[in-house]
Amino acid sequence: MPDTDTAPRGDTRDQVIKGHKYDGIQEYDNPMPGWWLWLLWATVIFSVIYIFGIHVFDFVDTYEDDLAQGQAELEARRAAFAETQPTFDADEATLATFVGDAARIEAGAANYATSCMPCHGAAGEGLIGPNLTDNYWIHGNTNVDMFNIISKGVIEKGMAPWEAVYTPEQRAELVAFIQSIQGTNPPNAKAPEGDLVE
């Protein structure tokens, strides 16, 4: 009985045995299937085109080319984005131009009523958050101090950061509003918190 597992598939009578014979082992002359040969030639031809494309005619991009192109595109996008983002220096001098400006204070008051009133009270008298009208400050009362607290918040104490919600100008307007209500002694004022700042 021939071993059917190792016998060649198909009609073995049609198959030509090649001349070689080593240690009693013989080989049939089976051509590779057509699809397989086509695939082989396709990869061979592709590799030649590819090598010439990269090294001679330069129509195939190398990894470095792609990287450089990507980085140039990234830089261009960053530059375009930066142009749409006006720079804002939140220093004392800039913030001081907001303080006392009636239009800025009004704009700040509107955002205060939306976002800050629930914790600091309608008139800044304090509720969950500290009184913003007295001389006592936990984090200081300069324009920059206030701007920073409004921007970064004090999350562990329940003061949210607002930099993702309000633009720098809007935060400066909030500072202008808070400065405008200093010393107003609103009713139901919350007890002082923080240090006395003259």
Query: Interface residues with ligand HEC (CB under 6 A)?
Result: 115-116, 118-120, 128-130, 132, 137-139, 146, 149-150, 154, 157-160, 162, 174, 178, 194
Residue 114 identity (one-letter amino acid): T
Judged by CB, which is closer to ligand HEC: 53, or 145? 145
Chain centre to alpha carbon of residue 19: 68
State how far the Cα of 147 lies from the Cα of 174, in Å rounded to an integer. Answer: 8
Judged by CB, which is closer to ligand HEC: 54, or 160? 160
Minimum distance of ligand HEC from residue 163's CB (angstroms): 10
Long-range Cβ contact pairs of 136-141 (< 8 A, separation 24 or more): 136/192, 136/193, 136/194, 136/195, 136/196, 136/197, 137/194, 137/195, 137/197, 138/193, 138/194, 138/195, 139/194, 140/197, 141/197
Judged by CB, which is closer to ligand HEC: 94, or 115? 115
Minimum distance of ligand HEC from residue 106's CB (angstroms): 15
Minimum distance of ligand HEC from residue 187's CB (angstroms): 19
Residue 116 identity (one-letter amino acid): C
Token pair belonging to 37? 């040969």
Judged by CB, which is closer to ligand HEC: 77, or 157? 157
Minimum distance of ligand HEC from residue 189's CB (angstroms): 13
